[in-house]
Amino acid sequence: MSILSQRAQALQPSATMAVSARAKELKSQGVDVISFGAGEPDFDTPEHIKQAAKNALDAGETKYSLPVNGKPELREAIVEKFKRDNNLEYSPSQVCVSYGGKCCLYLAFQTIVDPGDEVIIQTPYWVSYPEQVKQAGGVPVFVETEEKNDFKLTPELLERAITDKTKVLVLNSPSNPGGFTYTFEELKGLAEVIADKDIIVFSDEMYDRLVYDGTKCTSIAATMPEMMEKTLTFNAMSKTFAMTGWRLGYVAGPENIINAMTKLQSQAASAPAGFIQTAATVGLKGDQQCVEDMRSEFQRRAKRMYERLNEIPGLSCIKPTGAFYCFPNISGWFGRELAGKKITGSLDFCATLLDEAHVAIVPGVAFGCDSNARLSFATSMENIENGLNRIEEFLKKYA
């Protein structure tokens, strides 16, 4: 008998973290590795946010005595953010603050999903969605999308996936790993399919401020009045404000669901640290030029990586409109040999690139799309140029 629970044994490790670990291992051996792996801004947290945390520490904000769902002033700032950026009208009582966006999603799955409930997840998907569904006893239902449609879920595909066991639809726009963004009309089409059904939408909008070339990020909750009561909207400080290590996320939605999530959090972890919440409040309410500066630089990098990837033999890539990822199709190399190794899928392709060209990218199989791989452009333009040069030079040997 295993000492580990079946739940623990069933969990799959994060492929994105596995790539980062292998790249770090090679670096520790003195190998010059260029990594396009982890999804983390290469910018530092803006100075005024860091200073707010320092001030809060000096003021003694280090105690337990905080509301489990977040400080009132932070929840008010989140309400203002949703109204300003997403055209969503929430009240502070409809907001729960937690330890990063991942924890918010975990709380939501644990609160909503019962054993046997089905959760619709489109491919490509963020790696933690199916694992969190399974931890709640739910059943992930994967809907394969088409690259020619920029990997977007359509009303027809959604309609076919719905059964009497469907409880949740997960949407992610802008997409990690796909880099695509749904339009208002596309989201409204999906909303019309589920407006009269007992289905809750989990709308993951972590990258909503990082959109490019005039793209506008829309929340599905804003497409129809009925959707406000059928949607949980997730966001975090991590991507927009380069605060990944601060672990501060938030979710808004129907008050009864938020209250239930808060109860669950009260037994699991209580509230995030007060000084971090103070810093987040300053970030949301303060000057937003720092966000625009990062967005503008990401846009420049997105354009360059997209153009270069489409010039490399055997690769093709849709244009990223949000987040900080390109998701090229690499299947042109399947069935061929690279450096004496037969390439049968994205794992082989990415492992060979890392070992031979010393470039780390994430295999698409981790996201439900084995024909693709993910490259993050949350790194310097110098790294982008040098890394893509290595990939191109390596692949050209076998073209």
Angle (CA) 399 23 243, round 5°: 115
Residue-wise pLDDT for 315-351, tens only, equals: 999 999 999 999 999 999 999 999 999 999 999 999 9
Q: Do domains 6-44+290-396 and 48-285 have the same CATH topology?
A: no
The structure tokens listed for 305 are 């990586």
pLDDT tens, position by position, for the chain (399 residues)?
A: 688 888 888 877 766 666 677 788 888 999 999 999 878 999 999 999 999 999 999 999 999 878 999 999 999 999 999 999 999 999 999 999 999 999 999 999 999 999 999 999 999 999 999 999 999 999 999 999 999 999 999 999 999 999 999 999 999 999 999 999 999 999 999 999 999 999 999 999 999 999 999 999 999 999 999 999 999 999 999 999 999 999 999 999 999 999 999 999 999 999 999 999 999 999 999 999 999 999 999 999 999 999 999 999 999 999 999 999 999 999 999 999 999 999 999 999 999 999 999 999 999 999 999 999 999 999 999 999 999 999 999 999 998
Give the residue among 350, 306, 299, 346 at the shortest CA–CA distance from 322. 299
Q: What pTM, to 2 d.p., does this model score?
A: 0.96
140-145: long-range contacts at Cβ-Cβ below 8 A with a sequence spacing of 24 or more?
141/166, 142/368, 144/368
3-state secondary structure of 252: strand
Q: Tell me the CATH number for domain 6-44+290-396.
A: 3.90.1150.10
- pLDDT of 14 reads 66
**Contact yes or no for 350/363 (Cβ under 8 A):** yes
Query: What is the CATH topology of the domain spanning 48-285?
Result: Aspartate Aminotransferase; domain 2 (3.40.640)
| Beta strand spans in the chain (E) | 34-35, 95-98, 118-123, 139-144, 166-172, 200-204, 231-236, 249-252, 325-326, 337-338, 341-342, 359-360, 362-363, 373-376
Domain coordinates in residue numbering, the chain: 6-44+290-396, 48-285
The structure tokens listed for 239 are 């991507």
Rg, Å, the chain Cα set: 21
